[in-house]
Amino acid sequence: MPRRNDLRSILVIGSGPIVIGQACEFDYSGTQACRVLRDEGYRVILANSNPATIMTDPDFADRTYIEPLTADVLQAIIDRERPDAVLPTLGGQTALNLAMQLYARGVVGVPGTPELIGANARAIATAEDREKFKEAMIEIGLAVPPSGVAHSVAEASEVIAVIGLPVIIRPAYILGGHGTGIAITMSQFIDMVSKGLAASPISEVLIERSIVGWKEYELEVMRDQADNCVVICSIENVDAMGVHTGDSITVAPALTLSDFEYQKMRDAAFACIRRVGVETGGSNVQFAVNPSTGEQVIIEMNPRVSRSSALASKATGFPIAKIAAKLAVGYTLDEIPNDITKKTPASFEPTIDYVVTKVPRWAFEKFPGTSGILGTQMQSVGEAMAIGRTFPESLQKALRSLENGRMGLNCDPAEEALALLSADELIASIATPTPDRLFQVGECLRRGITIDAIHSATHIDPWFIDQMQMIIEERSALAAIGFEAMTGASWRRAKRMGFADAQLAYLWKVPEELIRKTRIGAGVVPTYKTVDTCSAEFEAQTPYHYSTYEDESEVRPSLKPRVIILGSGPNRIGQGIEFDYCCVHASFALRDAGFETVMVNCNPETVSTDYDTSDRLYFEPLTVEDVMNVIEAETIAGGGSPRVIVSLGGQTPLKLSGSLPANLIAGTSAQSIDIAEDREKWSALCDRLGITQPPGGTALNVDEALLVAKRVGYPVLVRPSYVLGGRAMQIVHDDSHLKKAMLEMAVAGTLGREGGLSALRPVLVDRFLEDATEIDVDAIRDLVGEVLIGGVMEHVEEAGVHSGDSACAIPPQTLEPWAIEAVESYTKAIAGELDVRGLLNVQYALAANTIYVLEANPRASRTVPFVAKATGVPLAKIASRVMLGSTLAELRHEGLLKDPINNGHVAVKEAVLPFSRFPEVDTALGPEMRSTGEVMGIDRTFGRAFVKAETAAGTELPTSGMVFLTLNDRDKSSGLVIAKRLRELGLGIVATSGTAEYLQRFGYPVDRIVGKVSAANAGSADHSQTDAVELLKRGEITFVINTPSGRRTRTDGEAIRKAANIYRVSSVTTIKAALAAVQGLAEAHESPLEVRSLQEYHGR
Amino acid sequence: MTIREAALVLRDGSIFEGEAIGAQPPSGICSGEVVFNTTFTGYQEVISDPSYAGQIISFTTPHIGNYGTTSYDSEAKQVFARGVVVRDLSRRRSNWRSEGGLDHYLQSLNIGGIAGIDTRRLTRILRQSGSMTGAFGTAPESDLRRASQREAGTDGVNLVAQVTTPEMYQFGTGRFNVVAFDFGIKQTILRCLGDFATVRIVPAATSAEQVMKMSPHGVFLSNGPGDPESVAGVPETLRQLLQAGVPIFGICLGHQLLALALGGRTYKLPFGHHGANHPVRNTTTGAVEITSQNHNFCIDPASLVDVSDVTHTNLNDNTNEGMRVRDARCFSVQYHPEAGPGPHDSRYLFREFGDLMDSA
């Protein structure tokens, strides 16, 4: 069946901000979908609140709505744009849930409204409603774990009486396994059921027999309108059932299934997709297999493109999202050519001749108080994928791609921590899944603990453990041979087992550079194979490569000038999709300018690792060794030495800059990068320019830190150098806290694992500026010295809250013209002094009419995409051209650089925080960044834009009920304004005694005064006052404004913030955000919600 | 375990270094026609498929032997393939079905192999230059090269005579009485037929008269190795059976022999189809079936336009995958609807064979 001509316009729903469980993969799928649909001639309308995505670039849709993803907003967009169809299957769980809400309102999917394409409401309900799904599977004869559904604790008790413990509890309609858990005891059971019911938007949980320890598999399946079904990829979880698949190490293809079992699973997957009724597109079907009997049960299916399908696409070269979009508009699989071979159709099943390993990356170190134990709820924030010809090679590459200070399966400095554990302790620790488990397994093997013992403790299939054993054996063999006696054959053997030069350097205590030189001298260099969907049966047209050590390399010669763009690796807090956006934009801009672009990255979720984003793609770890290998391969390929872009992928490639050939680096030199990072050199530069810095100094130990603090006075901000996202950054108020902070950085903390402290990496100790306004500037300087100020952003939260966690606005809202002029002039001067070629981000603080410069980073910043969307100036594209030698004047002439849009609108960026995943954590914002993503609100005024940004971020601003106010002394005066506005909006006020007394003193009535939480919790006799936590639990409080005080213990506020988090009551923890919120609510009160596309704002 | 260094040498002189696995002949040389198979799973079914007689099988998937072997997965009791080429032979197997390791299986059946090979490079050579003979083993490379050039390959060689059953035997207890010609029949085919038929498996040289004496409800023509043109006598037998009007269903070599019986022409594909992911269009329904394939030869449908209708076409290269003989109760397919290994998308053909016999 060909393309549907009855449709003209299609609304694509995006997935919103990056959150745990829903990351860049939906930018990848959404970008593909938008491209495909536009190429097919449809008018594409896109809704997504995330400005950091590539899909929300105004070039990718006819109408791009960066608006909150709520049913109200989508309804407004539908009313305005009248699309013929809505495509909800490429925007993750968010889009699917919204589609269901719109369907329930009768706005889509019913006659006279836009059609739901991809998956209809019935199919979505069948797959997503666990009870319906289970019934459907039993109906078609597929086994499911015995289970029951409950809508209340009472119902749950009836279910458990039948099934018996242990059980898994899963809330309905949730993503990333949120609220899911395993209950072994009855009290755990009751607790988890209550939480699960709260987490589920329809207050429903599925209680099912626990099959922890069974093997876990996923099949990525596609179906078209003609009922053709294919499996794109099989995925096997190395971690058994019990660890969420998003938190599991997984491999593709499945490696421990016989054909007999695999075909049975394939048949079941097709039966499932047909019964659920997914008419077109991709689905993910999950199975569990009893390792001793082969019993297969179906766990769940997602009737949409998922994180696993992004992985499957990168693992096979088969673009699931792109094909899903084509199938949604009527094509059948056999009508679509396979992009990679060009000659064969998409109606086939990819076969691969390598092993793909995905390893998640967690951020527990940023959430003190969390257990760090992996379970059925996803907690990872990113993932790395690696390709090798065998599992050991692929595994070791994946582990070093994580950029966690590990170079593979141990055999690196970090392994020394494992030596402290006894064999018993090791066995005990591997029984609990944690981010370190695999390394512990490696250590067990090294100690001679048997595969069977490890298998019993971990349920990891013995095949995988044996493969790891081979790595351990190879290590012993290499140690025995010794560096001097290595032959070509032994080098090749080591490299084929995935050993990095850095591991060998550690093993033999020989410098890595010498290892590299000697190995290359022995003739052992990587070969690059091609990912081609077909195991070389057909010729591949797409240069998508991975390294391995084999006989033959497949890199094609080329004479065009080439640019290598280094990506940003796995997503982590502080470094995510924003940098992928920059890399992708550079690739697009440089391709347009006639360069051949070469992308190097190892993050399977991203657009940058799509095989048609760049001319060539190397799916490789971002280490010096792997990047140098690519540079050498590309040099051999011809066309002269390639240029390398290190400044668009965040800290990851920037850290490599010093180790790469200086003459190849495009843009700002490694030397300038060092000046900006090196405290002494940077301070000297600021002094030269006469720009004020907060007083401070550097310290290598506690004593030095104390001296600096004494000199500059408390409070001080302490932070390690060369980190991103405010890692381990703290504001300390006295000596004892400073000592503690230093100790954490030096040894105790995870920072030790990330490199610890050294003369090369001292701690920076600076006077912390209280009540300062933070300002961010993004600029571009070209080789003739012209500087383009891309955007000046004023932060909503005061300095001290990490810029990544704070909201900010373009244009600045309260800055006086002189201040804006000053930061612009400073930025230009700094750019000149650093001889920047490309992007520069400078952070300032404005305190008591003085502008202080906080730091400068001559690289792409997190705000580049936000600025581009707010101003209509494609900063990343311009910067990449400037790095390769174009001047701003030339780009202006060419039309790439246009004047920024300034027609009175305000854009607000807001951070999205993952606290609901980590109920143990204090939600107060601080200098360590903890947000996973961001949203943008754009409107006529700041207040309205702020409300949109908050709504988009999932903060529900109050429209009724009572607001709980508890403010520190400094903020109490601002509290008066807040109380006044809240009253005007008809909202009630609850306050703690101190705040209440203050408000009442100035004539603002308080409806209810509550006691100290800590007192009530401690079983205090004082029951006259209701506890705030109790009110939160009862749902009487609809919003919390709680500003923590700096010096005092924060226990009380912390309890309130945690309770708000647990009971899903939105809160703000800074007075500035509270002021912005009430201002916004007041403005939003005056006129109804309006939606407007980016194209209209930009007037283009 | 000691490593036995070995090499694989192709007729064109390409050399691959690796290590010997499985059984090794005293000469240190195994030779045959080298083909590659792209299936992920089912290495044991592939190795034991008699259609690989005379061939050395290279697996594109790197890990082989990971889930071990089991008697159920053997497509024949004996292995007729000449050897196995793999990137990595798992030293440990893990699967609840497994009864033994692959290396042990190869040794017990006296089959040699070579591991550690850049099988992707090998695949690319075969894809570009077409199937060619080769030799592997522990012998010196010069000896291997000579052996690779001396090796006859499969063109024009009657391999069926080597693999067919010497005498008739029976399988299954279904209601139909089916006579199955064994040109190298696979166990999975017998299981599929045995579900609804009592199958008498007869040697390839069985005459039409002998077959008709058994008063079958239907005749089945099995898969088998090599060049159909070299299987003397069988096309004539099939012509007689066609005349007798007995329902006939053919698979793979059976399909090709049927084509020859109808006066059609066969030809050799550059490197054949060996895998479990080939898309085939059922031209009657328009549906796409993902199929298991294993053949180097192919029929030219143009040579059969007067007598048969194309029912299935390969979507990768548009080669013929199936036909229905006009004015006769007879159909056949080039691919493997029984799977083993491979997808079950086309098992309906066995049901259609049943329906055909029912309509008789």
pLDDT tens for each residue of A139-152:
999 999 888 889 99
Helices (H), A317-356: 320-328
Q: How close, in Å, is residue B139 to chain A by CA atoms?
A: 20
Q: Measured between alpha carbons, how far is A23 from A380 in angstroms, rounded to an integer?
A: 10
Q: Are B238 and B222 in contact (CB under 8 A)?
A: no
Residues in B closer than 8 angstroms to A266, CB to CB, are 343-344
Q: Measured between alpha carbons, how far is A730 from B338 in angstroms, rounded to an integer?
A: 66
Nearest chain A residue (CA) to B46 = A259
Residue B155: predicted pLDDT: 87
Residues in A closer than 8 angstroms to B127, CB to CB, are 536-539
Q: How close, in Å, is residue A348 to chain B by CA atoms?
A: 5
Confidence of residue A1 (pLDDT cuts 50, 70, 90): low
Helix (H), strand (E), coil (C) string for chain B: CCCCEEEEEECCCCEEEEEEEECCCCCCCEEEEEEEECCCCCHHHHHCCHHHCCEEEEECCCEECCCCECHHHCCCCCCCCCEEECCEECCCCCCCCCCECHHHHHHHCCCEEEECCCHHHHHHHHHHHCCEEEEEECCCHHHHHHHHHHCCCCCCCCCHHHHCCCCCEEECCCCEEEEEEECCCCHHHHHHHHCCEEEEEEECCCCHHHHHHCCCCEEEECCCCCCHHHCCCHHHHHHHHHHHCCCEEEECHHHHHHHHHCCCEEEEEEEEEEEEEEEEEECCCCCEEEEEEEEEEEEEHHHHCCCEEEEEEECCCCCEEEEEECCCCEEEECCECCCCCCCCCCCHHHHHHHHHHHCC
Nearest chain B residue (CA) to A355 = B62
Is B252 in the active site? yes
Q: Measured between alpha carbons, how far is B298 from B320 in angstroms, rounded to an integer?
A: 7
Residue A179: predicted pLDDT: 77
Q: Measured between alpha carbons, how far is A730 from A751 in angstroms, rounded to an integer?
A: 13
Q: How close, in Å, is residue B17 to chain A by CA atoms?
A: 9
Say whether A509 sits in a helix, a strand or coil.
coil
Is residue A708 over pLDDT 90? yes
Strand bridging mode B288-300 / B265-282: antiparallel
Q: Measured between alpha carbons, how far is A453 from A934 in angstroms, rounded to an integer?
A: 45
- Of residues B217, B273, B295, B336, which has the active-site annotation? B336
Residues in A closer than 8 angstroms to B92, CB to CB, are 451, 462-463, 466
Contact state of A349 with B276 under an 8 Å Cβ cutoff: yes
* Contact status of B232 with chain A (Cβ, < 8 Å): no
Q: How close, in Å, is residue B124 to chain A by CA atoms?
A: 6
Residue A663 DSSP class: G
Confidence of residue A232 (pLDDT cuts 50, 70, 90): very high
Is residue A116 over pLDDT 50? yes
Residue A1046: predicted pLDDT: 60
Confidence of residue A1051 (pLDDT cuts 50, 70, 90): low
End-to-end, the C-alpha distance of chain A in Å comes to 36
Contact state of B287 with A291 under an 8 Å Cβ cutoff: no
Residue A807: predicted pLDDT: 94
Confidence of residue A1021 (pLDDT cuts 50, 70, 90): very low
Residue A728: predicted pLDDT: 81
Is residue A770 over pLDDT 90? no
Is residue A968 over pLDDT 90? no
| ∠ Cα A1010 A1067 A71 (to 5°) | 130
Contact state of A535 with B38 under an 8 Å Cβ cutoff: yes
Q: Which of A261, A290, A390 sits opposite B62 (nearest CB)?
A: A390
Cis peptide before B216 (omega within 30 of 0): no
Residue written as token pair 């006129």: A1087
Residue A1035: predicted pLDDT: 85
B46, B95, B273, B283: best to mutate for the A interface, most A CBs within 10 A:
B95
Q: How close, in Å, is residue A474 to chain B by CA atoms?
A: 14
Say whether A160 sits in a helix, a strand or coil.
helix
Q: Measured between alpha carbons, how far is A735 from B205 in angstroms, rounded to an integer?
A: 97
Strand order in the sheet with A250-252: A296-302, A281-289, A215-223, A229-237, A250-252, A355-361, A382-388
Q: Are A457 and A430 in contact (CB under 8 A)?
A: yes
Residue A792 DSSP class: E
Listed in sequence order, the residues at least 6 apart from A476 whose beta carbon sits closer than 8 Å to its beta carbon are none
Q: Measured between alpha carbons, how far is A394 from A417 in angstroms, rounded to an integer?
A: 24
Contact state of A536 with B120 under an 8 Å Cβ cutoff: yes
Amino acid at the residue A534: C
Residue ranges in chain B modelled with pLDDT below 50:
none
Q: How close, in Å, is residue A264 to chain B by CA atoms?
A: 9
Q: Quick: pLDDT tens for A194-222.
A: 988 988 878 899 898 889 899 999 999 99
Q: What percent of chain A has pLDDT over 70?
A: 96
A214, A236, A259: best to mutate for the B interface, most B CBs within 10 A:
A259
Two tokens, residue B267: 């030809």
Contact state of B316 with A461 under an 8 Å Cβ cutoff: no
Is residue A1024 over pLDDT 60? no
Two tokens, residue A596: 């051949």
Among A456-460, A1083-1087, B115-119, whose mean pLDDT is lowest? Answer: A1083-1087
Is residue A1012 over pLDDT 80? no
Q: Measured between alpha carbons, how far is A756 from A651 in angstroms, rounded to an integer?
A: 17
* Contact status of B342 with chain A (Cβ, < 8 Å): yes
Task: Give me the phi and psi of A1043, to 5 degrees please.
Answer: -110, 120
What burial class does residue B71 get, using C-beta atoms within 10 Å of its C-beta: 0-12 exposed, 13-18 middle, 19+ buried? exposed
Q: Measured between alpha carbons, how far is A776 from A824 in angstroms, rounded to an integer?
A: 10
Residue A1023: predicted pLDDT: 45
- Of residues B192, B252, B298, B330, which has the active-site annotation? B252
Task: Give me the phi and psi of B95, to 5 degrees please.
Answer: -175, 140
Confidence of residue A750 (pLDDT cuts 50, 70, 90): very low
Comparing C-alpha atoms, which of A834, A802, A551, A842 is closest to residue A673? A834
Residues in A closer than 8 angstroms to B16, CB to CB, are 551
End-to-end, the C-alpha distance of chain B in Å comes to 60
Task: Give me the phi and psi of B134, to 5 degrees please.
Answer: -160, 170
Q: Measured between alpha carbons, how far is A102 from A111 in angstroms, rounded to an integer?
A: 13
Strand order in the sheet with A1067-1068: A1008-1010, A988-992, A962-966, A1037-1042, A1067-1068
* Contact status of B39 with chain A (Cβ, < 8 Å): yes
Nearest chain A residue (CA) to B39 = A351
Q: Which of B63, B95, B127 sits opposite A536 (nearest CB)?
A: B127
- Of residues B151, B229, B289, B338, which has the active-site annotation? B338
Among A49-58, A698-707, B139-148, B265-274, whose mean pLDDT is lowest? Answer: A698-707
Nearest chain A residue (CA) to B287 = A228
Comparing C-alpha atoms, which of A30, A3, A12, A5 is closest to residue A85? A12
Among A178-182, A774-778, B24-28, B40-44, whose mean pLDDT is lowest? Answer: A178-182
Is B338 in the active site? yes
Q: Quick: pLDDT tens for B127-162.
A: 999 999 999 999 999 999 999 999 999 888 899 999
Residue A1016: predicted pLDDT: 44
Residue A747: predicted pLDDT: 59
Residue A1049: predicted pLDDT: 46
Nearest chain A residue (CA) to B272 = A537
Strands (E), A85-228: 85-87, 115-116, 147-150, 167-171, 181-183, 205-209, 215-223
Is residue A106 over pLDDT 50? yes
Q: Measured between alpha carbons, how far is A387 from A737 in angstroms, rounded to an integer?
A: 45
Confidence of residue A483 (pLDDT cuts 50, 70, 90): very high
Contact state of B60 with A230 under an 8 Å Cβ cutoff: no
B window 258-287, beta carbon within 8 A of A: 275-279, 281, 286-287
Q: Quick: pLDDT tens for A241-289.
A: 999 999 999 999 999 999 999 999 999 999 999 999 999 999 999 999 9
What is the ipTM for the molecules in this complex? 0.98
Q: Is A221 left (phi over 0), alpha (psi -120 to 50) or beta?
A: beta
Residues in A closer than 8 angstroms to B281, CB to CB, are 334
Two tokens, residue B196: 């609804």
Among A660-674, A982-996, A1041-1055, whose mean pLDDT is lowest? Answer: A1041-1055
Q: Measured between alpha carbons, how far is A499 from A388 in angstroms, rounded to an integer?
A: 12
Contact state of B38 with A334 under an 8 Å Cβ cutoff: no
Comparing C-alpha atoms, which of A360, A167, A346 is closest to residue A249? A360
Is B344 in the active site? no
Residue A560: predicted pLDDT: 92
Nearest chain A residue (CA) to B88 = A390
Q: Measured between alpha carbons, how far is A297 from A145 in angstroms, rounded to an integer?
A: 6
Listed in sequence order, the residues at least 6 apart from A500 whose beta carbon sits closer than 8 Å to its beta carbon are A396, A400, A407, A408, A623, A625
Q: Which residues on adjacent β-strands are paired with residue A361?
A: A382
Q: How close, in Å, is residue A70 to chain B by CA atoms?
A: 40
| ∠ Cα A213 A395 A303 (to 5°) | 60
Q: How close, in Å, is residue A477 to chain B by CA atoms?
A: 14
Q: What is the mean pLDDT of residues A957-961?
A: 88
Is residue A1019 over pLDDT 50? no
Length of chain B: 360
Say whether A174 sits in a helix, a strand or coil.
coil
B66, B97, B122: best to mutate for the A interface, most A CBs within 10 A:
B66
Q: Quick: pLDDT tens for A984-998.
A: 999 999 998 889 999
Please give the full DSSP string across A872-893, using - where no structure is assigned: ---HHHHHHHHHTT--HHHHHH
Residue A920: predicted pLDDT: 80
Q: Measured between alpha carbons, how far is A196 from A206 in angstroms, rounded to an integer?
A: 9
Residue A1013: predicted pLDDT: 60
Q: Are A604 and A319 in contact (CB under 8 A)?
A: no
Residues in B closer than 8 angstroms to A257, CB to CB, are 41, 67, 95
- Residue A559 CA: distances (Å) to CA of A617, A635, A883: 17, 10, 21
Using only C-alpha atoms, chain A has a radius of gyration, in whole angstroms, of 28
B35, B67, B186, B319: best to mutate for the A interface, most A CBs within 10 A:
B67
Contact state of B277 with A348 under an 8 Å Cβ cutoff: yes
Residue A755: predicted pLDDT: 47
Task: Give me the phi and psi of B305, to 5 degrees please.
Answer: -60, -30
Say whether A76 sits in a helix, a strand or coil.
helix
Nearest chain A residue (CA) to B346 = A267
The count of CB pairs under 8 A between chains A and B is 166
H or E stretch covering A841:
strand A838-847
pTM for the model stands at 0.95
